[in-house]
Structure 1
Amino acid sequence: MASFPNPSPTPPATWPQAWQQPAFRMQLATVLGLLGLLAALLPRFFAWVQVRPGYVLPDPLLAYLPAYDVSATAFAVIYLGISLGVATLLPRPWRLLRALWGYLLLHLLRCATLALLPLEPPPGLVLLRDPLVDTFFYASPAPITKDLFFSGHTATLLLLALAVPPGWRRWTLLAGTAAVGLLVLVQHAHYTYDVLAAPVFVWVAWSLTPRPPLPWRGGA
């Protein structure tokens, strides 16, 4: 009986191929413009979040989990993961575009949840300092500790895991996501609910992102 070879996966679109398509150029300009606008507005938003009174949530896991300063390890995992994700997506324009839309939607969802659910930091908080975010996105003179629900660092790595092609990079980013989720709990920088909710909002954001045209959906 004759057998038919499995079709090879569609190769990823190159930047010249993507740039020839008006839809790609328009979407890229739009999402970059919206991300720039969001970045300009976030410092005041987080300063407002920090001064609001909030609620302390009961968290049985944190009550039994001793707090330790693991900032160095957490941010090593976070920024190595981000570097891997960005390096993987840069030569894949349609995947990069979808990741940018997902990142924008994820931040809009996070702003909505932060606005709707004012929280006080968990008891035993050990200050988690992010060298980049603290410098560029927080306008408060005091550290921002109330940007809690949901965990942005956990969500960002998970979004990158969905955006990169299947394979070792995705598994590495999934492992990094789990590690960061655990580390922010060890630091008592987030409630358990913040970490557990992150995948739900990532799924919502990713589901709402524009998908690449059919020829490139299976690109590596």
Structure 2
Amino acid sequence: MTSSAVPSSPASPSSWPQLWRQPAFRWRLLGILAALLALGASIPRFFAFIQARPGVRLPDPLLAVLPAHDVSWLTFGVIYVSVAVAVVYLLPRPLRLLRALWAYGLLHLLRLLTLWLLPLEPPTGLVLLHDPLVDQLFYASATPITKDLFFSGHTATVVLLALAVGPRLLRRGLLLAAALIGLLVLVQHAHYSYDVAAAPLFAGLSFWLAGRIVRR
């Protein structure tokens, strides 16, 4: 008599147990986690450097007609909800998560490079952004950090999350969130319009480069 029991299916080739057995996956994952930790440790000193040096204040016709308001609570509410939704989606999908982590690291390297190359003064009418998490961990300083301008890291990060997720509806929702964040940082006069406009380009470049690294 044949058994009616259904055999358990093997783990998916893209599941955590299967991928963790592959040295290439382990090294890429552990490598980017270590790099992100090192990057986080170096950021406070770098931002102290850019804050201390003189920069150029750019004309911005859009900001000139846009009244400045403090919308920090809404800005970071949208950011943290977007991050939480994307992380819930990515955690069970290790390959997508790996690419997102590499893209995030590359995005920050590109941002450090552009900040170093383009010293800027904050826009006229700046209202300080208050991030309850990052202010304590990375920007802790006697002087507020206001010269981390080109490009908008907040906008670029959420665009990057939109590229990293799979479902079209979720991607569209995150892109709308990124557009809202870009508008809000302009309302706050925390960025030039050029910073926001450039953010999706750098997010796309970082995601493309991360794909090359992960597929290699």
TM-score normalized by the length of structure 2: 0.91
Give the SS at the match of 2:211.
coil
State the Cα distance separating 1:12 from its structure 2 match.
Answer: 7.9
Distance in 1 between residues matched to 2:75 and 2:211, nearest whole Å: 31
Equivalent in the alignment of 2:17: 16
CA distance in 1, matches of 2:140, 2:59: 29
Which residue of structure 1 aligns with residue 147 of structure 2? 146
1:5-51 Cα shifts (integer Å, max 9, x gaps): xxxxxx78221121121111010011111111111100100111111
Contact 1:160 1:173 in 2 (8 A): yes
2-side partners of 1:85 and 1:96: how far apart?
A: 10
Question: Residue 173 and residue 204 in structure 1: after superposition, are their counterparts in 2 closer, same or farther (change >3 A)?
Answer: same
Map of 2:3 onto structure 1: none
1:4 is matched with which residue?
A: none
* Kept after mapping to 1: 8 A contact 2:13/2:19: no
* Number of residue pairs matched by the alignment: 204
Q: Please name the residue that 1:155 is paired with.
A: 156
Give, as a single letter, the amino acid of the residue that structure 2 aligns with 1:96: L
| Counterpart in the other structure of 1:56 | 57
Contact 1:46 1:139 in 2 (8 A): no
Alignment partners' CA distance in 2, 1:100 and 1:165: 15
1:207, CA displacement in angstroms? 1.2
Q: CA deviation at 1:140?
A: 2.1
- Contact 1:44–1:138 (Cα < 8 Å) also in 2: no
Tell me the equivalent position of 1:89.
Answer: 90
Residue number in structure 2 paired with 1:135? 136
Q: Which amino acid aligns with 2:154?
A: H
What root-mean-square deviation, in Å, do the aligned CA atoms of Structure 1 and Structure 2 show?
A: 1.4
Letter in 2 for 1:119: L
Distance of 1:47 and 1:138 partners within structure 2: 8
**Residue 76 of structure 1: aligned partner:** 77
Partners of 2:141 and 2:76 lie apart in 1 by 21
On the 8 A contact 1:44/1:139 being kept in 2, the answer is no
The match for 1:25 is 26
Of structures 1 and 2, the larger Rg is shown by 2
Task: Give CA-to-partner distance per residue, 1:92-125, whole Å, 9 cap, x none.
Answer: 0000000000000000000000001011110001
TM-score by length of 1: 0.89
Shift of 1:132: 1.2
- Tell me which residue corresponds to 2:165: 164
Question: Which one-letter code corresponds to 2:100 in the other structure?
Answer: A
Identity, % of aligned positions: 63
Q: Which residue of 2 aligns with 1:5?
A: none
- Long gaps (5+) in structure 1: 1-10, 215-220
Larger relative contact order (CA 8 Å, sep ≥ 6): 1
Q: Contact 1:69–1:126 (CA<8 Å) still a contact in 2?
A: yes
| Structure-2 change in CA distance of 1:46 and 1:90 (3 Å) | same
| Counterpart Cα distance in 2 of 1:22 and 1:41 | 28
